Amino acid sequence: MSTPRSRALAVASSVLLGTFAAVTNAQCPPVRVVSPEGADAYRFGTAVASNASEGGNQWVIVENGRVWAYDLMDGQLFLRQELRMPHPFASEFFGGTVAIEGDRLVVGAWSVQWPDRPDVVGGAFAYDLVDGRWVHSGDLKPPTDLSGAGTGAAVTIDGGTVLARGGPDRSVIIYEPRNGGWDARQTILPPSGVTADADFGYPIAASHGWLFVAANRDSSVASLGGSVFAYHRDTEGVYQLVQKIDGPASASFPVGQFGWDLDFDGRTLAIGAQSSFPAFDDQGVTFVFELEDGTWTPRQALTHRGAQARDAFGPEVAVEGDRMLVVAWRERTSRSDSMVYAFERGADGLWRQGARLLPTPTLHAVFYGADITLHGDYGLITAHRECEPGSSDQTGAAYLFDLSCYECPDLDADDRLTVFDYLEFMRAFDAGEPIADMDNDGELTIADFLAFQDAFAVGCP
């Protein structure tokens, strides 16, 4: 008996076979963004951030004490304004870290000489989006009992609350707006048993009332194994420790530097562990966690195809919705000194590797993937030590990728697009397997064939 799926299979087979030989390996080249003309360019791209809030379209790129603000329109980043240290007193590393949520931008500066403080401490600066421009709206100073530089070395925003790494005591400071300024409402110190060399407080990620604080050198389970602490905001607005997350016990390999980077979008917690040994020394793994019955539970351990020893997969991660970017810090190519991989979550809830995101540098992308951000269909990847041809000056660059161009249909995972990918798709569709749901709508229809054809035509980088 003919079924809708078998009829779709027959129709699509004729369509795909008729066009199979004609497809090309065209790609959407990334947009290379450099320091604005006339600027004293130096290490453009040390940090980046994008507005992951609904309707937001703001992006920022940091360069040597300045923050450049952009709007994304028609696949291009258009410069909106330049932000510098808003006060005349001394500051270093303004923009060492940045975060955006809604109409608020926070810029960290981990070394600031505040006029009313005798020592050099860090801090952060808040900006509000007014008529399309960022306007300085407040200063986030460390508590008076906190001395030494370091506050603001990591910042994030959660529902109007700003969370920043503290100074030498490795704390996390919770700031809330009050009476036109910012008050340090809560200070989270390293939990009992976490030593000073565990590096508690860097990095941090927060969203939807959850705060995750890494201690990527924590040796409580294994030497430099790392750990992550999960906090939840209670009804009084206070963050309470609810769980210590270690490298999954189910992992059949040594886990190292768990929490070197992490990201959280409200559903998915991605934790990089760049020194893990799934098959090779320092190959690296990125772990995916989801909340189940009040406990953050491991769902998947992601590795990259063609992995080798010391690739260091996972020092930078970014996740939003069903997309994720992960850096392999020491995977060398002819175009860059590292590699960035795109992953997508399918209808079955599993993450699968998609494209390798290669830059198109004028020379060679150095420190490629030093920072990454992800919003909607776009990913922004920095290479802040990239040089222009004929120059040794580290002017830097950033690369904007339209990820909708990189739906890689390499279904047999051999790093090539061949007739065997077509046959694998046909088999999976006929068997009703989720991997054939190319449009991710939870159903297998003729639309999945069309999506596969489009993806095959674009090809894999």
Mean pLDDT, the chain, as a whole number? 86
Interval 301-315 mean pLDDT: 90
Q: 276 and 134 in one domain?
A: yes
Number of domains in the chain: 2
Q: For residue range 243-269, list pLDDT tens digits in order.
A: 999 988 667 788 889 999 999 999 999
CATH number of the domain encompassing residue 173: 2.130.10.130
Query: How crowded is the C-beta side of 273, counted as CA atoms within 13 Å?
Result: 29
Q: 321 and 434 in one domain?
A: no
Q: 182 and 56 in one domain?
A: yes
- Supply the DSSP symbol for 461: -
Lowest mean pLDDT, pick from 19-33, 62-76, 168-182, 366-380: 19-33
Q: For residue range 407-417, list pLDDT tens digits in order.
A: 667 777 676 77
Q: 148 and 19 in one domain?
A: no
Q: 256 and 148 in one domain?
A: yes
Predicted model pTM: 0.85
Interval 382-406 mean pLDDT: 87
Instruction: Specify the pairing of strand 258-264 against strand 269-273.
Output: antiparallel
Q: Provide the b/e sequence for 420-440 (b: ≥16 CB within 10 Å).
A: ebbebbbebbeeebebbbbbe
User: What pLDDT does residue 347 have?
Assistant: 76
Name which residue leads in pLDDT, 17 or 422: 422
Residue 380 pLDDT > 70, yes or no?
A: yes
Identify any residues that bridge with 401 across adjacent strands, giving them in sequence order. 379
Most confident among 223-227, 286-290, 452-456 (mean pLDDT)? 286-290
Interval 416-425 mean pLDDT: 84
Q: 35 and 22 in one domain?
A: no
Q: For residue range 15-73, list pLDDT tens digits in order.
A: 444 443 333 223 478 999 998 887 778 889 999 999 866 667 899 999 988 999 999 99
Q: 257 and 141 in one domain?
A: yes
Q: 391 and 357 in one domain?
A: yes
Interval 317-326 mean pLDDT: 96
User: What pLDDT does residue 11 have?
Assistant: 45
User: What pLDDT does residue 443 have?
Assistant: 79
Q: 97 and 220 in one domain?
A: yes
User: What pLDDT does residue 354 have?
Assistant: 80
Q: 121 and 187 in one domain?
A: yes
User: What pLDDT does residue 12 have?
Assistant: 47
User: What pLDDT does residue 460 have?
Assistant: 60
Distance CA 406, CA 456 (A): 10
Q: 390 and 426 in one domain?
A: no
Name which residue leads in pLDDT, 77 or 418: 77
pLDDT above 70 covers a percentage of the chain that reads 89
Domain span at 420: 1-27+416-461
User: What pLDDT does residue 86 have?
Assistant: 93
User: What pLDDT does residue 22 have?
Assistant: 30
Q: 176 and 37 in one domain?
A: yes
